[in-house]
Amino acid sequence: PGTVGRFDSSNGFRVPHIGWNALQITKDSEILDDVGNRHVYFVHSYRAMPSDDNKEWISSTCDYGDKFIASIRKGNVHAVQFHPEKSGGKFLPLLPISEIFFGIFLFFHVKYPIN
């Protein structure tokens, strides 16, 4: 649930947004453990906006003129808008278990045993 829109360039921020931004972790998410306020890499013109309707899904946000959603988590499904292959470090081992849908990286984190 929520709203997706193009970044506003009238406030002096360039669109597309290309570069590094610090994550603000808002919810426990195993793929973000030990990440802290680490910088991650983005290349995008559109962003999902945080709202009361989606706040329980949001695991991190960033600021680029406005606050936008950088990652979400629902159960064992994690999705990030930043580029984990460029962001390096902790994210590199996750790439073999990721799928890309419409520019969003999805991670399926499965714990064993499944009850």
* pLDDT digits 0-9 by tens, 54-69: 899 999 999 999 999 9
Contact 41, 55 (CB under 8 A): no
pTM greater than 0.95: no
* pLDDT digits 0-9 by tens, 76-113: 777 888 887 777 666 555 544 454 444 454 444 444 44
| CATH-assigned architecture of domain 3-108 | 3-Layer(aba) Sandwich (3.40)
Mean pLDDT for the chain? 76
Distance CA 1, CA 51 (A): 9
pLDDT of residue 52: 93
